[in-house]
Amino acid sequence: MIITKDTKIVVTGGAGFLGSAVTQELARRGAQHVVAPRRREFDLVHEADVVRLYETHRPDVVLHLAAVVGGIGANRENPGSFYYQNMVMGALLMEHARRAGVQKFVAIGTICAYPKFTPVPFKEEDLWSGYPEETNAPYGIAKKALLVQAQAYRDQYGFNAIYLLPVNLYGPRDNFDPKSSHVIPALIKKFVEAVERRDEVVEVWGTGRATREFLYVDDAAQGIVLATEHYDGPEPVNLGAGFEISIKDLAECIARLTGFKGRLVWNTSLPDGQPRRCLDTTRAERFFGFRARTPFEEGLARTIEWYRSSR
């Protein structure tokens, strides 16, 4: 479906990090009826609020981006609540979208859904070949349930739900709270503050040997909107940048870009998380023409500048 100025769209999590980039991308493409419900208005873990959301806004399209999520520390501290809230929110939103006659439902999954020891690069067909990495398994499995629901609803009801798997995101407006942030904002905060305090040492979690792939948030938003317009298939689709970097190299890069001249100390008593993460992005390019555009260091520099200027 092509988004027009008259298409009514609900973006859950639309005021958040990824959501705000998606709403901006929708506006750039001419959408004039985009609603980003806030939790104080509609708590999507409660069925009555989900029903009221659909009755109030009557969307043609739902982009479900909302998630209760954090980094390794937050995942370890909140496995039950992360599982429950993400599972219930997704199930209710898709079920009541079906009942309300929504034309298309776009479910955003997570790379945390992949098995701990997935062959690199991760291919979508490997999604069910093992159990996720333990620290984020409850969150990953709750989000992966959306794929099962989407495929089941397509089979039984002819409901057009698609499922996208973005890799780790980064960029301006990210979450920099040390209790719940992911690795890039956590490192940026550490190094910027170390420079300001003239610290000689910064401690980093783990061994530094784990690898990750990172997608700039505006690129992710473009991929999601392209899929919304041009993809209607049952298969899950990765959204990634197609490269892999070790946490050690990442930390050293952020140290250099922030001007930190001191020493990095690795706290190996803390976990690395999943050993490697890098996506096969063939399907996204083949199915709806998506390819990431932002060079990694350029995206990091923009993110550091935003953090420095907006604190």
Residue 210 lies in a domain: no
For residue 301, the one-letter residue type is A
- Identify the pLDDT of residue 89: 97
Closest of 13, 167, 9, 169 to residue 90, by C-alpha: 13
Distances (CA, A) of 290 to 13, 121, 238: 22, 17, 10
Domain that holds residue 159: 8-170+215-242+276-293
| Phi/psi of residue 94, nearest 5 degrees | -70, -40
> Residues 35, 54: contact at Cβ < 8 Å?
no
Distances (CA, A) of 80 to 49, 77, 179: 22, 9, 17
- Give yes or no for residue 1 having a pLDDT over 90: no
Residue 188 lies in a domain: no
Instruction: Kindly report the CATH number assigned to the domain that includes residue 80.
Output: 3.40.50.720
Residue 145 lies in a domain: yes
In terms of Cβ atoms closer than 10 Å to its own Cβ (0-12, 13-18, 19+), residue 187 is buried
Structure confidence at residue 24 as a pLDDT band (50, 70, 90): very high
Which of 73-77, 109-113, 172-176, 242-246 has the weakest average pLDDT?
Answer: 73-77
Average pLDDT over residues 145-160: 98
Domain count, the chain: 1
Residue 253 lies in a domain: no
Q: Is 307 a catalytic residue?
A: no
Q: Round the CA-based radius of gyration of the chain to a whole number and report it.
A: 19
- Identify the pLDDT of residue 182: 85
- Identify the pLDDT of residue 70: 74
pTM summary value: 0.93
Average pLDDT over residues 9-35: 96
Average pLDDT over residues 204-212: 93
Residue 262 lies in a domain: no
How far is Cα 70 from Cα 74, in angstroms, rounded to an integer?
5
Structure confidence at residue 293 as a pLDDT band (50, 70, 90): very high
Residue 82 lies in a domain: yes
Between residues 72 and 286, the one the model is more confident about: 286
Structure confidence at residue 143 as a pLDDT band (50, 70, 90): very high
**Catalytic residue of the set 83, 114, 139, 163:** 139
Residue 65 lies in a domain: yes
